[in-house]
Every structure is written in C-alpha cells, then in structure tokens.
Amino acid sequence: MSLSLPILWLIIGCALVTLIPRIIPFLFVKKLTLPDVVLKWLSFIPVCILTALVIQSVLSVDETGFVFDQTVLIVLIPTILIAIFTKSLSITVIVGVGLMAVTRVFFSL
C-alpha cells in the first residue's frame, strides 16, 4: 500500500479533528478550580460510558424486539465478578478479552 500526499493530509486532518476537541477543554479547565459537585458529577462519566458500551454489545433490537447476544452474556457475568472481587481494571480487561476470545472460538465452530 502506498501513501499519497492527499491521503497523508487526510490522516493529519483527521488526527487534528480528533485531538482538538479532546485537548482544548483540558487547556481551559486546567487553571480553574471546579466545585465539588461538578467533580463528583464528572466522576460518573466513565462508568456511564462503559455501561452504555456494554449494554450496546449485549442487547440488540430486531423486528421481534430486544435480543440478547448469548456469547457476550456468557462472558459478561464472570467478567463482572472478576471486576467486583479484584477491583482492577487491567485484570478485568485481560480476563474479559480472554474469555471473549475463548467463547468465540468455541461458539463459532
């Protein structure tokens, strides 16, 4: 695969469009002291995003209604238990990805 100049400019432009909205808020908020209520509210955002991503992968909608993806559900339960008992994001992610890989190998046969 070759890289032409227009494609390079496109990649650089996409990188800037992705980075600018993520960096500019930090530059503005870095010098401010936020109220405790705002900091508490901001602490819930990662949990909400993660929950939305997990629910989106477990549930889908078709013409009959809500459908559960059994392979994801089989992996989700032990992964949640690992997260509760270890309270380690790294261990939870490693176990979840490993279990999902093993589950997909066995269910795709």
- The pLDDT of residue 25 is 84
Q: Round to whole Å and give the CA distance between 105 and 100.
A: 9
The answer to whether 75 and 99 are in contact (CB under 8 A) is yes
| Mean pLDDT value across residues 7-20 | 93
pLDDT digits (tens, 9 = 90+) for 51-108: 888 888 888 888 888 888 888 888 999 999 999 999 998 999 999 999 999 998 887 7
Q: Which two tokens stand for residue 22?
A: 């993520």
- The pLDDT of residue 31 is 83
3 state DSSP class of 62: strand
| Mean pLDDT value across residues 11-27 | 90
- The pLDDT of residue 1 is 64
The answer to whether 69 and 78 are in contact (CB under 8 A) is no
Whether 8 shows a pLDDT value over 80: the answer reads yes
Domain ranges of the chain: 1-32, 33-107
Return all residues near 86 (Cβ < 8 A) that are at least 6 apart: 92
Q: Round to whole Å and give the CA distance between 12 and 23.
A: 16
- The pLDDT of residue 36 is 93
- The pLDDT of residue 109 is 59
Q: Which two tokens stand for residue 64?
A: 């009959």
